[in-house]
Amino acid sequence: MDTTQRTDQQRSADRRRRELLEAADRVVLRDGPQASMNAIAAEAGITKPILYRHFGDKGGLYAALATRHTDALLASLRAALDAPADRRERVEATLDTYLAAIEARPQVYRFLMHPAEGSAGGDHGFDVGKHSAPLLRRMGEELAQVIEERLDLGPGSQQLARVWGHGIVGMMHAAGDWWLGERPCSRAELVRSLADLLWGRLAAAGDRVGGPGF
């Protein structure tokens, strides 16, 4: 097989995988954590063994969907952090971007973060921590990188940036999860309250010389 044939086959496989993920997204939007491999295969117009051939099992499909949605969310968070505004406004915009994303697609959020809610035997259930923890860790590392690039935190800045990155993601996740379930206040009120909590040393930190600023 020549290089052109291999490239064409790879493009075809990538396109087919993207189509299957889009079908899975539609089912997740409808069914949330109850989304099953049978329903996703039916939505895609294929049999379940073909779906398994592409993703291995529901855990493999979950990982692919998680990467797809996490990539999009991280791009949105970076855009909010890089917006032409003062630091407090960018902090609030970043918090609001995360909360708006989970509010707009709560079924997708629950599928990614609370998959065991759909556990009823068969292919429905899996270990929440095994699958959701890596998403939060990835977001924490990405945010830590942004903080380190933009803020001069003095000695031990790399470690402090990682502490802040993972701490902020943990706060957003826990507060957002509670808020989405109970809706005790408006999104704007939650954003302001979380920004107030973060604001202490974040407000006092200087921009890193030569960096993009924060």
54-108: pLDDT as tens digits: 888 888 888 888 888 889 999 999 899 888 888 899 999 999 999 999 999 999 9
**Which of 83, 91, 79 lies closest to 171 in space, CA to CA?**
91
Q: State the pLDDT at residue 124.
A: 46
Closest by Cα among 127, 151, 159 to 62: 127
Whether 10 maps to a domain, the answer reads yes
CA distance 132 to 25: 17
Q: Tell me the whole-structure pTM to 2 decimals.
A: 0.81
Q: What are the tens digits of pLDDT across the range 32-46?
A: 888 889 999 999 999
Residue 159 lies in a domain: yes
- Percent of the chain having pLDDT more than 70? 83
Please tell me the predicted confidence (pLDDT) of residue 58. 81
What's the CATH number where 119 sits? 1.10.357.10
pLDDT of residue 123: 52
213 occurs within a structural domain: no
Domain-embedded: residue 141: yes
Q: Is residue 214 part of a domain?
A: no
User: What is the reported pLDDT for 199?
Assistant: 87
C-alpha to C-alpha distance for 67 and 17, rounded to whole angstroms? 13
Find the helix or strand (DSSP H, E) in which 211 lies. none
When divided into structural domains, the chain yields a total of 1
pLDDT in tens, 189-203: 999 999 999 888 776
d(CA 161, CA 149): 9
Is 212 domain-assigned?
Answer: no
**What is the pLDDT, as a whole number, of residue 62?**
87
Average pLDDT of the residues of the chain: 85
For residue 213, pLDDT over 80 is answered with: no
Q: Check residues 122 and 214 and name the one with the higher pLDDT.
A: 214
CB atoms closer than 10 angstroms to residue 139: 22
In a domain, 19, yes or no: yes
Structure-model confidence comparison of residues 177 and 150, the more confident one: 177
Q: What angle do CA 184, 94, 164 make, to 5 degrees?
A: 95
**Is the residue at 169 inside a domain?**
yes
The pLDDT of residue 122: 46
* Residue-range definition of the domain harbouring residue 76: 3-207
